[in-house]
Structure 1
Amino acid sequence: MTTQQSFTRHDITFPSGDSTCAGWLYLPTGVTSAPVVILGHGLGAVREMRLDAFAERFAQAGIAAVAFTYRHFGDSGGHPRQLLSIKRQLTDWDAAIAYVTARADVDRTRIAVWGSSFGGGHAITVASRHPELRAAVSQCPFTDGLASALALGPAASLKVLPVVARDLAARGRGKPPVMVPIAAAPGTPALMNAPDALPGYQALQPAETTFRNEVAARVIPTILTYRPGRAAKKITIPILFCVSDTDSVTPPAQTLRYARTAPKGEIKRYDAGHFDFYTGETFEVLVRDQIEFLTRQLNPAAAASAA
């Protein structure tokens, strides 16, 4: 039987680009120099939307955790608000790694990254760029913008183009961004309008949340051309892919093709939808698999025995 360790959670901020990211640091109680995993979320999501649930479990297993919110969202800095920039979010990941590396109360030589959905795609990109990391977890990952757009359907994709044009014009005139919903009902222009997208996002929101269901529409062309799955073949560290077999947002067939190119990749498949990964029994199975993987790669027992 596995014993669970207690932990403390600290509010943190760290600099990134022209502003700061807000986050939580989870430290296992009584452990010196614990390994650490950095957690980032999906499209427009903030860390309050169940990143804490995963981070708590990792901390109970003796692994410190940093869960952060990207700039322009939630309680992190950055203007304009609700700007989803792939380049800026990848800079936030680099900044989170730099922040962890500078801390004296964790083991800076044993760092892993964990991303979900759009953040799962970022985790692939980040892992390919940071060979000094020990491990990565990519959960229901966004791996190919074109494949996701095709899953959404050409008609639905075309519906958002006028909104994109208005936002690009607003940017050119120095006006506030024109927003598009992140998740909406089927048939409604949005980044995600699969039947389970809107109820799935709503189910992740706590009573008190900084989440806003909208982003600046200008991001849509960059999402279409973002294909982080192609970087999987360049990853030299162990990476665990947790794939939904019924994913309505990130098509599993394309994800699996990319995952199989990772030299040290491991694949776990789940008969559960994209938004089922965060709650209930699916969450319990997922987090157990991820703790087993991270424990093998980060060896938290070494930190505990040194305490």
Structure 2
Amino acid sequence: MTRENIEFQGEGGITLRGWFYPAQNATTPAPAVVMTHGMTAVKEMHLDDYAEVFAEAGLNVVVYDHRNFGDSDGQPRQENDPVLQHRDIRNAITYAINRPEVDGSKIGVWGTSFAGGHALLVAAIDKRVKAVVAQVPFISGSRQLAGAVRPDFVGHLREQFHGDRLNRFAGGEPARIPVITPDPTEPAMMSATDAYEWFSKTAADRAPNWKNEVTARSLEWASEYEPGSYISRISPTPLLMLVADEDTVAPFQYALDAYEEAREPKEIKVLHGGHFDAYGGPGFEECASAARDHFLRHLSA
């Protein structure tokens, strides 16, 4: 499928790079979907597969790497800032609207994993968004921290964050931690076994520019991020949540609790499997087709 390499300005003038997929068989300006990946992931990690499904259905698609990752600019490298990332999504919407192929009144946002949280937040505050899909979304940093770290270890973790802040204030290099580890007892951003297996395999097969490191401050910022708190403000924008019943990375129960707070129109689909099953096999087919149909229903009418 034909796609165009693109670049546009993110928040603060940072250059973001990605792909534009034109809507297939469109003779007039068509709707557009802005897509972003999860924490540390790059666009080559199956976002192209989703974009092709959407483009074949008559939707324009904007896909790009978050600042500090992949092909996009930004320093320090491998730093995951949720505030700047969701502001960049709003810049990507502006970029899409300014393309002649795009009907700027019909914009959708799709996010997965950590960016599934961004999708919820952006849809709540930016009413240019007319349909939103949050796939295996990150809901609450405080709940994630409480579920992942023993209470007696939290103070020690916060001391490490404070030490990194002091070091950076003095001009030192940011502390870094692995994204994944083969030993689930070792410190990492994602210690789950399925995270290690998916990132290792996907990076080797599709994304050699992915790096197994992230700044320690990224973990601190993630623990403070509460995109689920915005979910009741998404209405009247139609919401689709795609969740996995065995998800240990973005726990299933957190998504269900958030969904209860969302207002109509809303829909939820439950995928049988883990967090990463959405990116391949039957899980991909189920998620991609559900998202495609949601966008067509609400953007093409």
Counterpart for residue 267 of structure 2 = 266
Residue 221 of structure 1 aligns to which amino acid in structure 2? E
Give 1:175's match in structure 2, choosing from 172, 178, 187.
Answer: 172
Residue 20 and residue 156 in structure 1: after superposition, are their counterparts in 2 closer, same or farther (change >3 A)? farther
Counterpart for residue 71 of structure 1 = 67
Q: Where has structure 1 moved over 4 Å in runs of 4 or more?
A: 155-163
Give yes or no for contact 2:45–2:207 (8 Å, CA) kept in 1.
Answer: no
Counterpart for residue 293 of structure 1 = 294
Residue 202 of structure 2 aligns to which amino acid in structure 1? L
- TM-score if structure 2 supplies the norm length? 0.92
Residue 220 in structure 1 maps to residue 219 in structure 2: yes
**Structure 1, gaps ≥5 residues long:** 1-6, 303-307
Give yes or no for contact 1:151–1:249 (8 Å, CA) kept in 2.
Answer: no
**Quick one: distance in 1 between partners of 2:171 and 2:220?**
20
Counterpart for residue 242 of structure 1 = 242
Residue 23 in structure 1 maps to residue 23 in structure 2: no
- Compute the displacement of 1:167 (Å): 2.7
User: Secondary structure of 1:186's match?
Assistant: coil
Mapping for residues 60-209 of structure 1, pairs under 5 Å: 60-154=56-150, 161=158, 163-184=160-181, 185-205=183-203, 206-209=205-208
Deviations 1:107-157 (A, max 9, x none): 111100000000000000000011221100000000011222233242776
Residue 208 and residue 221 in structure 1: after superposition, are their counterparts in 2 closer, same or farther (change >3 A)? closer
Residue 157 and residue 292 in structure 1: after superposition, are their counterparts in 2 closer, same or farther (change >3 A)? farther
Give yes or no for contact 2:32–2:62 (8 Å, CA) kept in 1.
Answer: yes
User: Secondary structure of 1:65's match?
Assistant: strand
**Structure 2, gaps ≥5 residues long:** none
User: Secondary structure of 2:22's match?
Assistant: strand
**Quick one: distance in 2 between partners of 1:75 and 1:152?**
31
User: Secondary structure of 1:8's match?
Assistant: coil
Residue 156 and residue 266 in structure 1: after superposition, are their counterparts in 2 closer, same or farther (change >3 A)? farther
- Compute the displacement of 1:195 (Å): 2.0
**Quick one: distance in 2 between partners of 1:78 and 1:240?**
31
**Quick one: distance in 1 between partners of 2:21 and 2:153?**
41
Residue 218 of structure 1 aligns to which amino acid in structure 2? R
Deviations 1:36-58 (A, max 9, x none): 11100111111111111100110
- TM-score if structure 1 supplies the norm length? 0.90
**Quick one: distance in 2 between partners of 1:197 and 1:142?**
15
**Quick one: distance in 2 between partners of 1:253 and 1:12?**
37
Deviations 1:273-302 (A, max 9, x none): 001110111111111111111111111xx7
Counterpart for residue 211 of structure 1 = 210
- Compute the displacement of 1:28 (Å): 2.5
Residue 129 and residue 196 in structure 1: after superposition, are their counterparts in 2 closer, same or farther (change >3 A)? same
Q: Identity over the aligned pairs, expressed in percent? A: 36
Residue 277 of structure 1 aligns to which amino acid in structure 2? A
Residue 197 of structure 2 aligns to which amino acid in structure 1? P
Residue 2 of structure 2 aligns to which amino acid in structure 1? T
Residue 189 of structure 2 aligns to which amino acid in structure 1? L
User: Secondary structure of 1:28's match?
Assistant: coil
Residue 157 and residue 46 in structure 1: after superposition, are their counterparts in 2 closer, same or farther (change >3 A)? farther
Residue 227 and residue 86 in structure 1: after superposition, are their counterparts in 2 closer, same or farther (change >3 A)? same
Give yes or no for contact 1:151–1:251 (8 Å, CA) kept in 2.
Answer: no
Give yes or no for contact 1:26–1:56 (8 Å, CA) kept in 2.
Answer: yes
Residue 59 of structure 2 aligns to which amino acid in structure 1? I
Residue 173 of structure 2 aligns to which amino acid in structure 1? P
Residue 78 and residue 20 in structure 1: after superposition, are their counterparts in 2 closer, same or farther (change >3 A)? same
- Compute the displacement of 1:234 (Å): 0.4
User: Secondary structure of 1:74's match?
Assistant: coil
Residue 198 of structure 1 aligns to which amino acid in structure 2? Y
Count of matched residue positions in the alignment of Structure 1 and Structure 2: 294
- Compute the displacement of 1:165 (Å): 4.1
